[in-house]
Structure 1
Amino acid sequence: MQMQIKPIPSEWSQLISMVNKLRKTNVVYLAGGAPRDYLLDKPIKDWDLFVYTESPLAIRSCLQDDFNLQRSVGNADGFYEGLAEERGVQAIDYFVNMNGELQVIYLSRNMPLVELLEGMDFGLCQVGTDGKSWTFTEAFIKDMENQTLTHYRYFEAEKRMKERYARLSKKYPN
């Protein structure tokens, strides 16, 4: 399958740039499903914004105050342990805007975009942008060319499912 490389949407670049400036970080990525769906002309369900910061609460305030975003659901304090922490995720916030849901994933360490992408479970999800250029992994290109869905993080599936079950059980106790 031939994929047409489209320009990065200007609103994505602007969001990344503004978060960079507001919090003086240069690690802000939009990655996963939204870039994949955009490039493949599919409807976008939500956006995953990855931010490396030592103060997630400051970013949360910035997004609420400067971008008028409303928090939706998520862990009450927003901080995670276990597999998410092992993969470099310290917290996740969920915001709702007129276009859907924006998930802000706060990274606990500075990592290159390609490292972040290689940690995603399916090859077809391993695409992202820093607002200036696209980054694709070999797994993404292979899945695109072969029209396949290859699961790369199968060894984590059971552990991830158990942690997700524990989180959802707290969120929906009945």
Structure 2
Amino acid sequence: MQGIELLPTNSQIVIRVLISTFPGTILAGGALRDLNAGLGPSSIKDLDFFVPFYTSYLDVQDLMVDDFGYRITNSVAASVWIGADTTIDSSVCFEKDGDQTVNIIWMSQGNTPIDRLSRFDFGACQIAYDGRDYHTTTAFHTDIADRTFTLVRSDSVEQFDRSIKRYLRFKERFIGWGLRDPHDFVGQYSPPFVDALPSAFAI
């Protein structure tokens, strides 16, 4: 298991402080996916943290802006995200020159950060770090071993649309990684982006 020890020192500090300051917080998704896929830390542009619903926005802002020297570049409610599910409430993006971007994502009420693990669309993304342990799913290990992106969930045509477009972006960095659709989401939905589908499933 490839972990945060491969990231730059500044990123490791941010991870440890955020997780220890706001109990229940996890680092999940893209950064850990990329490390375990062998892409290396230089390919990682941002870190995604999922925090409990009750986490104070002002406390997060004080830590990231006042203590770490980041600046807020974007803040958005999940209700405006196309393809977002009900587990997410909102997110704030923090940037700092020379460091990886930090995205703080608030869970919606009644959902915990670790619950988010099984909600990621692709098996390869289903990995999280809680400050002590790494949490993964069977789908994650299968995708990493087989060099694939398996679409394990899609609750709507909007989510399916978003996932396929994500995979098309992934293809530029994950050379030779295929796309699997074991639940036949293509057959369940009528995608509005049919022109993209042949290139998505060509591998």
C-alpha RMSD of matched pairs (Å): 2.6
Q: TM-score, normalised by structure 2?
A: 0.63
In structure 1, distance between residues paired with 2:18 and 2:3: 20
Number of the residue aligned with 1:18:
17
Query: Alignment partner of 1:117: what SS?
Result: helix
Distance 1:145 1:160, change over 3 A: closer
| Corresponding residue pairs, total | 151
Q: Do structure 1's residue 65 and structure 2's residue 63 form an aligned pair?
A: no
- Give the distance between the partners of 1:156 and 1:57, measured in 2 at CA: 34
Which residue identity does 1:101 align to in structure 2? T
Offset of 1:66 from its aligned partner? 1.4
Helix, strand or coil for the counterpart of 1:27?
coil
Report deviation, 1:122. Answer: 0.7
CA distance in 1, matches of 2:70, 2:139: 34
* Counterpart residue number, 1:27: 24
Note the alpha carbon deviations across 1:93-112, whole angstroms, 9 max, x for none.
01112223111101234526
Q: 1:136 Cα deviation (Å)?
A: 0.9
CA distance in 2: counterparts of 1:66 and 1:38, whole angstroms: 27
**Cross-structure match for 1:81:** 79
5+ residue gaps, structure 2, are 163-203
> Contact (CA 8 Å) 2:11, 2:100: kept in 1 or not?
no
Are the aligned partners of 2:10 and 2:99 in contact in 1 as well (CA < 8 Å)?
Answer: no
| Counterparts in 2 of 1:121 and 1:159: CA distance versus 1, 3 Å | closer
Could you tell me which residue of structure 2 aligns to residue 6 of structure 1?
A: 2
Q: Conserved in 2, the CA contact under 8 Å of 1:8 and 1:133?
A: no
Match of 1:39 in 2: 36
Does the CA-based 8 Å contact 1:30-1:129 persist in structure 2?
A: yes
Q: Which amino acid aligns with 2:69?
A: N
* Aligned counterparts, 1:1-174, within 5 A: 5-9=1-5, 14-22=13-21, 25-42=22-39, 43-54=43-54, 55-75=56-76, 79-81=77-79, 84=84, 86-87=86-87, 89-97=88-96, 98-109=98-109, 111=112, 113=114, 115-158=115-158
Q: Which amino acid aligns with 1:58?
A: D
| C-alpha displacement of 1:141 | 1.1
Question: How far apart, CA to CA, are the structure 2 residues paired with 1:6 and 1:140?
Answer: 13
Q: Following TM superposition, by how much is the alpha carbon of 1:84 offset from its aligned partner in structure 2, in angstroms?
A: 4.2
Conservation of the 8 A alpha-carbon contact between 1:71 and 1:95: yes
Greater relative contact order: 1 or 2 (C-alpha under 8 angstroms, separation 6 or more)?
Answer: 1
Q: Name structure 1 gaps, 5 residues minimum.
A: 163-174
- How much does 1:157 deviate? 4.2
The structure with the largest alpha-carbon Rg is 2
Can you list the C-alpha shifts for 1:13-72, whole angstroms capped at 9, x where unaligned? 6434423454xx321111000011122231112110111142223312321111111111
